[in-house]
Structure 1
Amino acid sequence: MTAAPDPALLTLEDWFALGEDESLRRAEVCRGVLEVSPSPRPEHSDALLSIAGQLRAQVSHRQFRVLHELDVILDGGTRPTVRQPDVLILRAGAAAPITARDVLLAIEILSPTSLQRDRWTKRAEYAAAGIPNYWIIDLDGPSAEVLTLVDGRYEGSVVTERIQVDGDLPLVVDLADLQR
């Protein structure tokens, strides 16, 4: 005999059936469990727009897309995980629904209610899903943990003032600009 599915857990179909959230709350699903958090502070929103603007000015729109607060399916299994990074860079050909393999960079901006989730939970989830780059922005510094996926784990360092990465997708973000 197989166990009946837990009616409190969402499937991926249940998640998409919820539709767009028009409240001032942010919703994600983690291993089938709906997680709702308060809307971000104005400083968080300002930083999000600044980062997205700085990145858009640097990337080729033919190759990449810079978006924000978009659902990304990390695990589409029976207990799905769908996260909503603050800012992300996708391959230009990515079509909805967006999956982790479409994401080149996920950025989370820390909020009082998201510290543990962004620093530990999402770090593990994004690494397991194979997202090659993850930045965690702390507006109190400001500083950023700039992480690259190496052998299934993120490695990197904390930077202040300016993020500068080279490689296939060279990027520069002025962290001081986030507090203006």
Structure 2
Amino acid sequence: MFWSLDERLTELAAFAGVELLLAEKPLTIRVPDVLVASPSPLDVPRLGAEDVSLVIEVLSEGTVRTDRVTKFSEYAEVGIEHYWIVDLDDPASMVTYRLVDGEYENFGEHTGKVSFDFDGTPLTLDLDALTTRHAQRP
């Protein structure tokens, strides 16, 4: 499992494959690898940026520039407080950013199994497990 949230976390839920509406005009939609927001019905097709606390993007060969440059500025512009970028190249790593005065600041670079506090909730991430799963794909 990539991440586990403490049972006390009831105000947020993790979603994959959900559209993130960044702007209505011009229509700007992203589909992050994972986003964390207030719990919604499981069939929610799209969330607004104002409802999202965290976006996690996993780098791939075709998305490095988009994830590190374009999405980095787009997510900051709409006020998403946390943005984490996961790199699966060995060793798997993650850089965590937090919005401060309208710009993302680096709040840590992590490898292996990491435990820390996310908005008052203990969070454990196993980046090595991601590398194992990634290597097993055909």
Asked if TM exceeds 0.5, the reply is yes
Q: 1:113 to 1:168 in 2, by over 3 A?
A: same
Is the counterpart of residue 106 in structure 1 residue 66 in structure 2? no
TM-score, reference length from structure 2: 0.81
Bigger share in helix: 1
SS at match of 1:72: strand
Matches within 5 A, 1:59-78: 60=8, 62-76=10-24, 78=25
Q: 1:153 is matched with which residue?
A: 103
User: Separation in 1 of the partners of 2:17 and 2:64?
Assistant: 17
SS at match of 2:80: coil
Deviation at residue 99 of structure 1 after TM alignment: 0.4
Tell me how many residue pairs correspond in the alignment: 127
User: Separation in 2 of the partners of 1:152 and 1:162?
Assistant: 30
Deviation at residue 93 of structure 1 after TM alignment: 5.0
- The structure with the largest alpha-carbon Rg is 1
Higher relative contact order (CA 8 A, sep 6+): 2
Backbone CA RMSD of aligned residues = 2.0
Is the counterpart of residue 144 in structure 1 residue 94 in structure 2? yes
- Indicate the larger mover: 89-98 or 142-151: 89-98
Cα pair 2:18 2:45 within 8 Å, conserved? no
SS at match of 1:158: strand
1:27-86 CA-to-partner distances (Å, cap 9, x unmatched) read xxxxxxxxxxxxxxxxxxxxxxx43xx24x43556311111021010111x212111000
TM-score, reference length from structure 1: 0.63
1:106-146 CA-to-partner distances (Å, cap 9, x unmatched) read 00000000000001100100000111101100000311111
Amino acid in the other structure paired with 2:125: V
Task: Specify every segment of 5 or more residues in structure 1 that has no aligned partner in the other structure, as ranges.
Answer: 1-49
User: Separation in 2 of the partners of 1:125 and 1:112?
Assistant: 20
Deviation at residue 147 of structure 1 after TM alignment: 0.7
Bigger share in strand: 2
